[in-house]
Structure 1
Amino acid sequence: MDFGTYETLIVEQQGKALVVTVSRPKAMNALAGQVVEDLWALTEVLLGVGRDGEWPVHGVVITGAGEKAFVAGADIVEMQQMTAEQGETYSRRMQDVTLRLEALPVPVIAAVNGFALGGGCELAMACDFIYASRNAKFGQPEVNLGLVPGFGGSVRLADRVGIGMAREIIYTGRAIDAEEAHRIGLVNRLFDDAAAVVEGAKATVAELATKSPMAVSTCKRLMNEVASLSTAEGLDKEASAFHTAFETEDKVEGVRAFVAKERPTFPGR
Protein backbone atom coordinates (compact mmCIF):
# COMPACT_ATOMS: atom_id res chain seq x y z
CA MET A 1 0.00 0.00 0.00
CA ASP A 2 1.13 3.56 -0.70
CA PHE A 3 1.28 5.54 2.56
CA GLY A 4 2.36 8.74 0.83
CA THR A 5 5.59 10.70 0.36
CA TYR A 6 6.72 13.32 2.85
CA GLU A 7 9.40 15.98 3.01
CA THR A 8 10.55 15.15 6.55
CA LEU A 9 9.39 11.57 7.08
CA ILE A 10 10.59 8.22 5.76
CA VAL A 11 7.67 5.78 5.75
CA GLU A 12 8.35 2.10 5.07
CA GLN A 13 6.37 -1.07 5.56
CA GLN A 14 8.75 -3.59 7.10
CA GLY A 15 7.10 -6.94 7.66
CA LYS A 16 4.10 -6.48 9.93
CA ALA A 17 5.17 -2.97 10.97
CA LEU A 18 4.96 0.47 9.41
CA VAL A 19 8.21 2.21 10.34
CA VAL A 20 8.01 6.01 10.36
CA THR A 21 11.34 7.84 10.68
CA VAL A 22 11.42 11.56 11.43
CA SER A 23 14.30 12.67 9.21
CA ARG A 24 15.88 16.03 9.98
CA PRO A 25 19.18 14.72 11.39
CA LYS A 26 21.03 18.04 11.03
CA ALA A 27 18.38 19.63 13.27
CA MET A 28 18.22 16.57 15.56
CA ASN A 29 14.78 15.83 14.08
CA ALA A 30 13.21 18.85 15.78
CA LEU A 31 9.49 19.29 15.23
CA ALA A 32 9.51 22.14 12.74
CA GLY A 33 6.19 23.16 11.26
CA GLN A 34 6.84 20.99 8.21
CA VAL A 35 7.40 17.92 10.39
CA VAL A 36 4.14 18.58 12.20
CA GLU A 37 2.31 18.97 8.88
CA ASP A 38 3.87 15.77 7.53
CA LEU A 39 2.87 13.85 10.66
CA TRP A 40 -0.64 15.28 10.40
CA ALA A 41 -0.88 14.26 6.72
CA LEU A 42 0.39 10.75 7.49
CA THR A 43 -2.14 10.27 10.28
CA GLU A 44 -4.84 11.46 7.88
CA VAL A 45 -3.82 8.67 5.49
CA LEU A 46 -3.64 6.09 8.27
CA LEU A 47 -7.05 6.98 9.68
CA GLY A 48 -8.49 6.48 6.20
CA VAL A 49 -6.96 3.04 5.69
CA GLY A 50 -9.74 1.08 7.35
CA ARG A 51 -10.33 -0.57 10.65
CA ASP A 52 -9.04 -3.65 12.37
CA GLY A 53 -8.60 -6.61 10.00
CA GLU A 54 -8.52 -4.35 6.94
CA TRP A 55 -5.21 -2.87 8.03
CA PRO A 56 -2.10 -3.92 6.04
CA VAL A 57 0.11 -3.66 9.16
CA HIS A 58 -0.32 -4.63 12.81
CA GLY A 59 1.56 -1.75 14.37
CA VAL A 60 3.35 1.55 13.71
CA VAL A 61 6.91 2.23 14.87
CA ILE A 62 8.02 5.85 15.15
CA THR A 63 11.74 6.62 15.36
CA GLY A 64 14.26 9.33 14.48
CA ALA A 65 17.07 9.48 11.93
CA GLY A 66 20.70 9.65 12.98
CA GLU A 67 22.52 8.73 16.16
CA LYS A 68 21.80 11.75 18.35
CA ALA A 69 18.05 12.13 18.67
CA PHE A 70 14.63 10.58 18.41
CA VAL A 71 13.12 14.06 18.28
CA ALA A 72 15.11 16.69 20.18
CA GLY A 73 12.00 18.80 20.76
CA ALA A 74 10.11 21.64 19.14
CA ASP A 75 11.98 23.78 16.63
CA ILE A 76 13.16 26.66 18.85
CA VAL A 77 14.55 28.67 15.92
CA GLU A 78 11.13 28.66 14.26
CA MET A 79 9.40 29.40 17.54
CA GLN A 80 11.52 32.51 18.06
CA GLN A 81 9.67 34.16 15.17
CA MET A 82 6.16 33.09 16.21
CA THR A 83 3.49 35.31 17.65
CA ALA A 84 1.43 34.04 20.59
CA GLU A 85 -1.39 33.20 18.17
CA GLN A 86 0.96 31.30 15.87
CA GLY A 87 2.37 29.46 18.88
CA GLU A 88 -1.11 28.32 19.90
CA THR A 89 -1.83 27.15 16.33
CA TYR A 90 1.45 25.19 16.35
CA SER A 91 0.53 23.65 19.71
CA ARG A 92 -2.97 22.65 18.67
CA ARG A 93 -1.83 21.15 15.37
CA MET A 94 0.70 18.89 17.07
CA GLN A 95 -1.79 18.02 19.80
CA ASP A 96 -4.11 16.89 17.00
CA VAL A 97 -1.35 14.62 15.69
CA THR A 98 -0.97 13.02 19.12
CA LEU A 99 -4.72 12.43 19.41
CA ARG A 100 -4.74 10.86 15.95
CA LEU A 101 -1.95 8.47 16.95
CA GLU A 102 -4.03 7.43 19.95
CA ALA A 103 -7.05 6.94 17.67
CA LEU A 104 -5.29 4.54 15.29
CA PRO A 105 -6.73 1.01 15.54
CA VAL A 106 -3.27 -0.54 15.89
CA PRO A 107 -0.62 -0.03 18.58
CA VAL A 108 2.04 2.64 18.04
CA ILE A 109 5.54 2.15 19.48
CA ALA A 110 8.08 4.94 19.97
CA ALA A 111 11.60 3.62 19.30
CA VAL A 112 13.71 6.25 21.06
CA ASN A 113 17.43 6.75 20.58
CA GLY A 114 19.20 9.80 21.98
CA PHE A 115 17.27 12.92 22.89
CA ALA A 116 13.48 12.91 23.36
CA LEU A 117 12.97 16.30 24.98
CA GLY A 118 9.95 18.58 25.04
CA GLY A 119 7.96 17.84 21.91
CA GLY A 120 9.97 14.66 21.35
CA CYS A 121 9.01 13.32 24.77
CA GLU A 122 5.41 14.36 24.09
CA LEU A 123 5.39 12.56 20.72
CA ALA A 124 6.73 9.42 22.41
CA MET A 125 4.07 9.62 25.14
CA ALA A 126 1.31 9.70 22.51
CA CYS A 127 2.46 6.21 21.50
CA ASP A 128 1.20 3.07 23.23
CA PHE A 129 4.66 1.85 24.26
CA ILE A 130 8.03 3.58 24.56
CA TYR A 131 11.13 1.49 23.83
CA ALA A 132 14.50 3.19 24.34
CA SER A 133 18.21 2.72 23.81
CA ARG A 134 20.43 3.12 26.86
CA ASN A 135 21.70 6.48 25.60
CA ALA A 136 18.19 7.98 25.45
CA LYS A 137 17.32 11.08 27.44
CA PHE A 138 13.83 12.32 28.26
CA GLY A 139 12.49 15.55 29.69
CA GLN A 140 10.17 18.54 29.47
CA PRO A 141 12.61 21.47 29.51
CA GLU A 142 10.11 24.16 28.51
CA VAL A 143 10.53 26.14 31.76
CA ASN A 144 14.17 26.74 30.80
CA LEU A 145 12.82 28.81 27.89
CA GLY A 146 10.05 30.56 29.78
CA LEU A 147 7.50 28.21 28.23
CA VAL A 148 5.20 25.37 29.26
CA PRO A 149 4.61 21.99 27.59
CA GLY A 150 2.52 22.50 24.47
CA PHE A 151 2.03 19.06 22.90
CA GLY A 152 0.51 17.13 25.81
CA GLY A 153 3.26 16.87 28.40
CA SER A 154 1.22 18.34 31.23
CA VAL A 155 -1.48 15.72 30.60
CA ARG A 156 0.25 12.52 29.52
CA LEU A 157 3.36 12.58 31.70
CA ALA A 158 1.32 12.29 34.90
CA ASP A 159 -0.58 9.35 33.39
CA ARG A 160 2.74 7.61 32.77
CA VAL A 161 4.73 8.32 35.92
CA GLY A 162 2.31 9.75 38.49
CA ILE A 163 1.53 13.35 39.35
CA GLY A 164 4.39 13.92 41.81
CA MET A 165 7.13 12.73 39.48
CA ALA A 166 5.55 14.54 36.53
CA ARG A 167 5.51 17.81 38.47
CA GLU A 168 9.18 17.47 39.38
CA ILE A 169 10.22 16.73 35.78
CA ILE A 170 8.15 19.60 34.35
CA TYR A 171 8.83 22.22 37.06
CA THR A 172 12.61 21.65 37.07
CA GLY A 173 13.05 21.06 33.34
CA ARG A 174 15.57 18.33 34.13
CA ALA A 175 16.46 15.62 31.64
CA ILE A 176 16.46 12.04 32.88
CA ASP A 177 18.43 9.15 31.43
CA ALA A 178 17.00 5.95 30.03
CA GLU A 179 17.58 3.93 33.20
CA GLU A 180 15.65 6.46 35.29
CA ALA A 181 12.90 6.71 32.67
CA HIS A 182 12.55 2.93 32.78
CA ARG A 183 12.56 2.86 36.58
CA ILE A 184 9.69 5.35 36.88
CA GLY A 185 7.60 3.69 34.18
CA LEU A 186 7.99 6.16 31.34
CA VAL A 187 9.86 3.60 29.24
CA ASN A 188 8.61 0.04 28.71
CA ARG A 189 11.83 -1.64 27.63
CA LEU A 190 15.54 -0.82 27.27
CA PHE A 191 17.87 -1.88 24.45
CA ASP A 192 21.59 -1.51 23.85
CA ASP A 193 21.50 0.69 20.75
CA ALA A 194 19.30 2.38 18.15
CA ALA A 195 19.14 -0.59 15.79
CA ALA A 196 18.15 -2.92 18.62
CA VAL A 197 15.34 -0.56 19.69
CA VAL A 198 13.75 -0.57 16.24
CA GLU A 199 14.20 -4.32 15.87
CA GLY A 200 12.66 -4.83 19.31
CA ALA A 201 9.68 -2.69 18.36
CA LYS A 202 9.24 -4.62 15.10
CA ALA A 203 9.44 -7.91 17.02
CA THR A 204 6.62 -6.75 19.30
CA VAL A 205 4.52 -5.82 16.26
CA ALA A 206 5.18 -9.29 14.83
CA GLU A 207 3.98 -10.76 18.12
CA LEU A 208 0.87 -8.55 18.01
CA ALA A 209 0.17 -9.87 14.51
CA THR A 210 -0.56 -13.29 16.05
CA LYS A 211 -3.34 -11.82 18.21
CA SER A 212 -6.90 -10.92 17.31
CA PRO A 213 -6.84 -7.58 15.46
CA MET A 214 -10.35 -6.84 16.74
CA ALA A 215 -9.39 -7.55 20.34
CA VAL A 216 -6.16 -5.52 20.23
CA SER A 217 -7.95 -2.59 18.60
CA THR A 218 -10.76 -2.71 21.15
CA CYS A 219 -8.29 -2.92 24.06
CA LYS A 220 -6.50 0.19 22.80
CA ARG A 221 -9.71 2.14 22.38
CA LEU A 222 -11.10 0.93 25.71
CA MET A 223 -7.98 1.81 27.71
CA ASN A 224 -7.92 5.31 26.21
CA GLU A 225 -11.61 5.80 27.00
CA VAL A 226 -11.53 4.61 30.61
CA ALA A 227 -8.42 6.60 31.58
CA SER A 228 -10.44 9.64 32.66
CA LEU A 229 -13.45 7.76 34.09
CA SER A 230 -14.29 6.59 37.59
CA THR A 231 -13.81 2.93 38.41
CA ALA A 232 -17.54 2.25 38.11
CA GLU A 233 -17.80 4.08 34.79
CA GLY A 234 -14.74 2.28 33.47
CA LEU A 235 -16.10 -1.11 34.47
CA ASP A 236 -19.33 -0.33 32.66
CA LYS A 237 -17.37 0.50 29.50
CA GLU A 238 -15.38 -2.70 29.87
CA ALA A 239 -18.50 -4.86 30.21
CA SER A 240 -19.93 -3.30 27.04
CA ALA A 241 -16.70 -3.98 25.17
CA PHE A 242 -16.71 -7.57 26.47
CA HIS A 243 -20.24 -7.95 25.08
CA THR A 244 -19.17 -6.62 21.69
CA ALA A 245 -16.16 -8.95 21.58
CA PHE A 246 -18.47 -11.95 21.98
CA GLU A 247 -20.14 -11.00 18.70
CA THR A 248 -16.95 -11.03 16.61
CA GLU A 249 -15.66 -13.72 14.29
CA ASP A 250 -12.28 -13.37 16.01
CA LYS A 251 -13.84 -14.55 19.30
CA VAL A 252 -15.39 -17.58 17.58
CA GLU A 253 -12.06 -18.51 15.97
CA GLY A 254 -10.01 -17.85 19.11
CA VAL A 255 -12.20 -20.01 21.34
CA ARG A 256 -12.48 -22.75 18.70
CA ALA A 257 -8.70 -22.91 18.27
CA PHE A 258 -8.09 -22.94 22.03
CA VAL A 259 -10.48 -25.88 22.55
CA ALA A 260 -9.00 -27.72 19.56
CA LYS A 261 -5.44 -26.97 20.75
CA GLU A 262 -4.68 -25.27 17.44
CA ARG A 263 -3.15 -21.94 16.50
CA PRO A 264 -5.94 -19.48 15.64
CA THR A 265 -6.21 -17.76 12.28
CA PHE A 266 -8.02 -14.55 13.10
CA PRO A 267 -10.11 -13.00 10.30
CA GLY A 268 -9.96 -9.57 11.93
CA ARG A 269 -13.74 -9.23 12.09
Structure 2
Amino acid sequence: MTAYSNILFENKDGIVHLTINRPDKLNALNIKTLEEIKDAFENIYDDSSIQGVIITGAGEKAFVAGADISEIAELSEVNARKFSENGQEIFAAIENCHKPVIALVNGFALGGGCELSMACHMRVATANARFGQPEVNLGIIPGYGGTQRLTQLIGKAKSLELNMTGDMISAEEAKTLGLVNHVEVDGESAIAKCEEILKKIASKAPLAIGLVIDCVNAVYNEQENGYQTEANSFAACTKTADFKEGTQAFLEKRKANFKGE
Protein backbone atom coordinates (compact mmCIF):
# COMPACT_ATOMS: atom_id res chain seq x y z
CA MET A 1 0.00 0.00 0.00
CA THR A 2 1.27 3.46 -0.95
CA ALA A 3 2.20 5.77 1.93
CA TYR A 4 0.00 8.88 1.72
CA SER A 5 0.61 12.34 3.17
CA ASN A 6 -2.72 14.08 2.42
CA ILE A 7 -5.23 11.27 2.87
CA LEU A 8 -5.82 8.49 5.38
CA PHE A 9 -6.72 5.05 4.05
CA GLU A 10 -8.04 2.38 6.40
CA ASN A 11 -9.76 -0.89 5.49
CA LYS A 12 -12.13 -1.84 8.32
CA ASP A 13 -13.59 -5.28 7.64
CA GLY A 14 -14.02 -4.61 3.94
CA ILE A 15 -15.14 -0.99 4.24
CA VAL A 16 -12.49 1.58 3.32
CA HIS A 17 -12.52 4.82 5.28
CA LEU A 18 -10.78 7.35 3.02
CA THR A 19 -10.23 10.65 4.85
CA ILE A 20 -9.00 13.86 3.22
CA ASN A 21 -6.44 14.86 5.83
CA ARG A 22 -5.56 18.55 5.48
CA PRO A 23 -7.59 20.03 8.37
CA ASP A 24 -5.35 23.12 8.58
CA LYS A 25 -6.41 23.90 4.98
CA LEU A 26 -10.04 22.81 5.57
CA ASN A 27 -9.12 19.72 3.52
CA ALA A 28 -8.75 21.73 0.31
CA LEU A 29 -8.01 19.62 -2.76
CA ASN A 30 -4.59 20.36 -4.17
CA ILE A 31 -2.97 18.42 -7.01
CA LYS A 32 -1.11 16.08 -4.65
CA THR A 33 -4.31 15.20 -2.78
CA LEU A 34 -6.10 14.41 -6.04
CA GLU A 35 -3.23 12.16 -7.13
CA GLU A 36 -3.42 10.32 -3.81
CA ILE A 37 -7.18 9.85 -4.23
CA LYS A 38 -6.53 8.48 -7.72
CA ASP A 39 -3.97 6.00 -6.39
CA ALA A 40 -6.29 4.97 -3.55
CA PHE A 41 -9.08 4.16 -6.00
CA GLU A 42 -6.74 2.11 -8.15
CA ASN A 43 -6.16 -0.01 -5.03
CA ILE A 44 -9.90 -0.10 -4.30
CA TYR A 45 -10.65 -1.33 -7.81
CA ASP A 46 -8.05 -4.12 -7.53
CA ASP A 47 -8.62 -5.32 -3.95
CA SER A 48 -11.34 -7.98 -3.88
CA SER A 49 -11.59 -7.73 -0.08
CA ILE A 50 -13.00 -4.19 -0.34
CA GLN A 51 -16.81 -4.08 -0.43
CA GLY A 52 -17.46 -0.34 -0.09
CA VAL A 53 -15.93 3.08 0.56
CA ILE A 54 -16.68 6.02 2.85
CA ILE A 55 -15.02 9.33 1.90
CA THR A 56 -14.91 12.05 4.52
CA GLY A 57 -12.81 14.98 5.73
CA ALA A 58 -10.58 15.30 8.78
CA GLY A 59 -11.82 17.48 11.62
CA GLU A 60 -15.29 18.83 12.29
CA LYS A 61 -15.32 21.97 10.12
CA ALA A 62 -15.03 20.70 6.58
CA PHE A 63 -15.53 17.73 4.31
CA VAL A 64 -13.59 19.57 1.62
CA ALA A 65 -13.85 23.36 1.52
CA GLY A 66 -12.82 23.57 -2.14
CA ALA A 67 -9.82 23.31 -4.41
CA ASP A 68 -6.50 24.88 -3.45
CA ILE A 69 -6.88 28.53 -4.51
CA SER A 70 -3.12 29.10 -4.51
CA GLU A 71 -2.83 26.56 -7.34
CA ILE A 72 -5.87 27.84 -9.23
CA ALA A 73 -4.56 31.42 -9.15
CA GLU A 74 -1.54 30.39 -11.25
CA LEU A 75 -3.53 28.73 -14.05
CA SER A 76 -3.44 29.82 -17.69
CA GLU A 77 -5.99 28.79 -20.33
CA VAL A 78 -3.84 25.89 -21.55
CA ASN A 79 -3.01 24.31 -18.20
CA ALA A 80 -6.45 25.15 -16.77
CA ARG A 81 -8.06 22.83 -19.30
CA LYS A 82 -5.69 20.02 -18.27
CA PHE A 83 -6.30 20.86 -14.60
CA SER A 84 -10.05 20.49 -15.11
CA GLU A 85 -9.81 17.33 -17.21
CA ASN A 86 -7.52 15.68 -14.67
CA GLY A 87 -9.99 16.28 -11.84
CA GLN A 88 -12.89 15.12 -14.01
CA GLU A 89 -11.04 11.89 -14.81
CA ILE A 90 -10.35 11.13 -11.14
CA PHE A 91 -13.94 11.87 -10.11
CA ALA A 92 -15.23 9.71 -12.99
CA ALA A 93 -13.19 6.83 -11.57
CA ILE A 94 -15.08 7.27 -8.29
CA GLU A 95 -18.46 7.52 -10.03
CA ASN A 96 -17.80 4.40 -12.14
CA CYS A 97 -16.37 2.28 -9.32
CA HIS A 98 -18.25 -1.04 -9.10
CA LYS A 99 -18.11 -0.86 -5.32
CA PRO A 100 -20.51 1.55 -3.55
CA VAL A 101 -18.94 4.85 -2.50
CA ILE A 102 -20.61 7.11 0.07
CA ALA A 103 -19.55 10.67 0.86
CA LEU A 104 -19.85 11.42 4.57
CA VAL A 105 -20.12 15.20 4.41
CA ASN A 106 -19.11 16.54 7.81
CA GLY A 107 -19.03 20.32 7.37
CA PHE A 108 -18.30 22.51 4.35
CA ALA A 109 -18.52 20.83 0.93
CA LEU A 110 -17.77 23.74 -1.36
CA GLY A 111 -16.45 23.94 -4.91
CA GLY A 112 -14.28 20.89 -5.50
CA GLY A 113 -15.57 19.44 -2.24
CA CYS A 114 -19.17 19.55 -3.41
CA GLU A 115 -18.02 18.08 -6.72
CA LEU A 116 -16.19 15.26 -4.91
CA SER A 117 -19.29 14.45 -2.88
CA MET A 118 -21.42 14.37 -6.04
CA ALA A 119 -19.02 11.93 -7.73
CA CYS A 120 -19.82 9.46 -4.94
CA HIS A 121 -22.84 7.21 -5.35
CA MET A 122 -24.59 8.57 -2.23
CA ARG A 123 -24.20 11.34 0.31
CA VAL A 124 -24.78 11.19 4.07
CA ALA A 125 -24.45 14.60 5.76
CA THR A 126 -24.07 15.78 9.32
CA ALA A 127 -26.49 18.46 10.46
CA ASN A 128 -23.81 21.17 10.19
CA ALA A 129 -22.92 20.35 6.58
CA ARG A 130 -23.07 23.09 3.96
CA PHE A 131 -23.00 22.63 0.17
CA GLY A 132 -22.20 25.11 -2.58
CA GLN A 133 -20.44 25.91 -5.85
CA PRO A 134 -18.99 29.37 -5.16
CA GLU A 135 -16.53 29.44 -8.08
CA VAL A 136 -18.20 32.48 -9.70
CA ASN A 137 -16.90 34.51 -6.74
CA LEU A 138 -13.41 33.83 -8.13
CA GLY A 139 -14.32 34.64 -11.73
CA ILE A 140 -14.40 30.99 -12.79
CA ILE A 141 -16.90 28.13 -12.95
CA PRO A 142 -16.81 24.59 -11.50
CA GLY A 143 -14.24 22.46 -13.31
CA TYR A 144 -14.56 18.99 -11.81
CA GLY A 145 -18.08 18.21 -13.08
CA GLY A 146 -20.08 20.54 -10.84
CA THR A 147 -22.25 22.02 -13.59
CA GLN A 148 -23.09 18.53 -14.84
CA ARG A 149 -23.65 16.44 -11.71
CA LEU A 150 -25.47 19.15 -9.77
CA THR A 151 -27.92 19.46 -12.68
CA GLN A 152 -28.36 15.68 -12.80
CA LEU A 153 -29.07 15.52 -9.07
CA ILE A 154 -31.30 18.55 -8.43
CA GLY A 155 -32.53 19.73 -11.84
CA LYS A 156 -31.65 22.54 -14.24
CA ALA A 157 -33.30 25.56 -12.60
CA LYS A 158 -31.94 25.03 -9.08
CA SER A 159 -28.53 24.03 -10.43
CA LEU A 160 -28.36 27.24 -12.43
CA GLU A 161 -29.33 29.24 -9.35
CA LEU A 162 -26.68 27.69 -7.12
CA ASN A 163 -23.94 27.77 -9.77
CA MET A 164 -24.66 31.43 -10.67
CA THR A 165 -25.22 32.85 -7.17
CA GLY A 166 -22.55 30.82 -5.40
CA ASP A 167 -24.97 30.43 -2.48
CA MET A 168 -24.49 27.77 0.19
CA ILE A 169 -27.33 25.50 1.24
CA SER A 170 -27.86 23.56 4.46
CA ALA A 171 -27.83 19.79 4.81
CA GLU A 172 -31.60 19.74 5.22
CA GLU A 173 -32.18 21.83 2.08
CA ALA A 174 -29.72 19.61 0.21
CA LYS A 175 -31.75 16.58 1.30
CA THR A 176 -35.01 18.22 0.17
CA LEU A 177 -33.46 18.92 -3.24
CA GLY A 178 -32.23 15.34 -3.62
CA LEU A 179 -28.54 16.17 -3.27
CA VAL A 180 -28.25 14.32 0.06
CA ASN A 181 -29.65 10.88 0.93
CA HIS A 182 -29.61 11.16 4.74
CA VAL A 183 -28.91 13.82 7.36
CA GLU A 184 -27.56 12.68 10.74
CA VAL A 185 -27.04 14.70 13.90
CA ASP A 186 -23.26 14.26 14.08
CA GLY A 187 -20.27 12.44 12.67
CA GLU A 188 -20.67 9.35 14.82
CA SER A 189 -24.25 8.73 13.72
CA ALA A 190 -23.31 9.56 10.12
CA ILE A 191 -20.57 6.91 10.12
CA ALA A 192 -23.04 4.41 11.56
CA LYS A 193 -25.53 5.23 8.78
CA CYS A 194 -22.87 4.86 6.07
CA GLU A 195 -21.74 1.52 7.47
CA GLU A 196 -25.35 0.34 7.75
CA ILE A 197 -25.97 1.09 4.07
CA LEU A 198 -22.71 -0.47 2.90
CA LYS A 199 -23.19 -3.64 4.96
CA LYS A 200 -26.68 -4.05 3.53
CA ILE A 201 -25.33 -3.65 -0.02
CA ALA A 202 -22.48 -6.07 0.76
CA SER A 203 -25.06 -8.79 1.49
CA LYS A 204 -26.26 -8.61 -2.14
CA ALA A 205 -24.70 -10.07 -5.29
CA PRO A 206 -21.49 -8.05 -5.97
CA LEU A 207 -21.58 -8.43 -9.76
CA ALA A 208 -25.20 -7.27 -9.85
CA ILE A 209 -24.33 -4.24 -7.70
CA GLY A 210 -21.59 -3.23 -10.15
CA LEU A 211 -23.98 -3.56 -13.07
CA VAL A 212 -26.61 -1.44 -11.28
CA ILE A 213 -23.97 1.32 -11.05
CA ASP A 214 -23.20 0.96 -14.79
CA CYS A 215 -26.87 1.14 -15.76
CA VAL A 216 -27.73 4.14 -13.58
CA ASN A 217 -24.67 6.02 -14.86
CA ALA A 218 -25.79 5.21 -18.43
CA VAL A 219 -28.85 7.42 -17.87
CA TYR A 220 -26.54 10.45 -18.14
CA ASN A 221 -24.35 9.23 -21.00
CA GLU A 222 -25.70 10.61 -24.28
CA GLN A 223 -23.56 8.16 -26.25
CA GLU A 224 -25.12 5.16 -24.54
CA ASN A 225 -28.61 3.65 -24.75
CA GLY A 226 -29.38 3.06 -21.09
CA TYR A 227 -32.21 0.64 -21.81
CA GLN A 228 -29.91 -1.49 -23.96
CA THR A 229 -27.22 -1.35 -21.28
CA GLU A 230 -29.81 -2.56 -18.79
CA ALA A 231 -30.94 -5.41 -21.04
CA ASN A 232 -27.34 -6.48 -21.71
CA SER A 233 -26.50 -6.31 -18.01
CA PHE A 234 -29.65 -8.23 -17.05
CA ALA A 235 -28.66 -10.96 -19.51
CA ALA A 236 -25.07 -11.00 -18.24
CA CYS A 237 -26.32 -11.62 -14.70
CA THR A 238 -27.97 -14.87 -15.79
CA LYS A 239 -24.54 -16.35 -16.64
CA THR A 240 -23.25 -15.93 -13.09
CA ALA A 241 -23.07 -18.38 -10.22
CA ASP A 242 -24.61 -15.66 -8.04
CA PHE A 243 -27.76 -15.74 -10.19
CA LYS A 244 -28.10 -19.46 -9.70
CA GLU A 245 -27.43 -19.12 -5.97
CA GLY A 246 -29.86 -16.22 -5.54
CA THR A 247 -32.76 -17.86 -7.33
CA GLN A 248 -32.16 -21.24 -5.66
CA ALA A 249 -31.94 -19.63 -2.23
CA PHE A 250 -35.25 -17.86 -2.83
CA LEU A 251 -36.96 -21.08 -3.88
CA GLU A 252 -35.47 -22.91 -0.89
CA LYS A 253 -36.47 -20.08 1.46
CA ARG A 254 -32.95 -19.50 2.76
CA LYS A 255 -30.44 -16.64 2.74
CA ALA A 256 -28.29 -16.48 -0.37
CA ASN A 257 -24.52 -16.88 -0.11
CA PHE A 258 -23.15 -14.68 -2.88
CA LYS A 259 -19.49 -14.99 -3.88
CA GLY A 260 -19.20 -12.48 -6.72
CA GLU A 261 -18.88 -15.19 -9.34
- Could you tell me how far 1:259 is from its partner in structure 2? 0.8
1:169 pairs with 140, 162, 165, which one? 162
* Identity level (%): 39
Give the paired residue count: 261
Structure 1: gaps of 5 or more residues: 50-54
Spell out the pairing of 1:79-158 with structure 2 (5 A cutoff). 79-158=72-151
- Which amino acid in 2 is paired with 1:131? V
Please state if 1:237 is matched with 2:229. yes
SS of the residue corresponding to residue 197 of structure 1 reads helix
Please state if 1:250 is matched with 2:242. yes
- Which amino acid in 2 is paired with 1:45? N
Q: Give CA-to-partner distance per residue, 1:76-126, whole Å, 9 cap, x none.
A: 122223333333222221111101112211111000010000000000000
Structure 2: gaps of 5 or more residues: none
Spell out the pairing of 1:1-269 with structure 2 (5 A cutoff). 2=1, 4-49=2-47, 55-229=48-222, 233-269=225-261
- Could you tell me how far 1:254 is from its partner in structure 2? 0.5
Do the aligned partners of 1:101 and 1:126 also contact (CA within 8 Å) in 2?
A: yes
Do the aligned partners of 2:28 and 2:64 also contact (CA within 8 Å) in 1?
A: yes
TM-score by length of 2: 0.96
- Could you tell me how far 1:148 is from its partner in structure 2? 0.4
- Which amino acid in 2 is paired with 1:35? T
- Could you tell me how far 1:41 is from its partner in structure 2? 1.7
Do the aligned partners of 2:64 and 2:109 also contact (CA within 8 Å) in 1?
A: yes
Query: Greater CA deviation, 85-94 or 56-65?
Result: 85-94
- Which amino acid in 2 is paired with 1:261? K
Q: Give CA-to-partner distance per residue, 1:138-187, whole Å, 9 cap, x none.
A: 01000111110000001110100011110111011100010100000000
SS of the residue corresponding to residue 142 of structure 2 reads coil
- Could you tell me how far 1:229 is from its partner in structure 2? 4.7
Equivalent residue number for residue 52 of structure 1: none
More contact order relative to length (CA 8 Å, sep ≥ 6): 1
Q: Give CA-to-partner distance per residue, 1:45-65, whole Å, 9 cap, x none.
A: 33344xxxxx21211110000
SS of the residue corresponding to residue 144 of structure 2 reads coil
Do the aligned partners of 1:16 and 1:209 also contact (CA within 8 Å) in 2?
A: no
Separation (CA, whole Å) in 2 of partners of 1:27 and 1:264: 46
Q: Give CA-to-partner distance per residue, 1:200-233, whole Å, 9 cap, x none.
A: 11221111111110110110111112333599x3
Do the aligned partners of 1:16 and 1:206 also contact (CA within 8 Å) in 2?
A: no
Separation (CA, whole Å) in 2 of partners of 1:41 and 1:26: 23
Do the aligned partners of 1:138 and 1:175 also contact (CA within 8 Å) in 2?
A: yes
Do the aligned partners of 1:5 and 1:11 also contact (CA within 8 Å) in 2?
A: no
Separation (CA, whole Å) in 2 of partners of 1:166 and 1:241: 31
SS of the residue corresponding to residue 116 of structure 1 reads strand
- Which amino acid in 2 is paired with 1:23? N
Do the aligned partners of 1:131 and 1:187 also contact (CA within 8 Å) in 2?
A: yes
- Which amino acid in 2 is paired with 1:63? T
CA RMSD, 1 decimal: 1.5
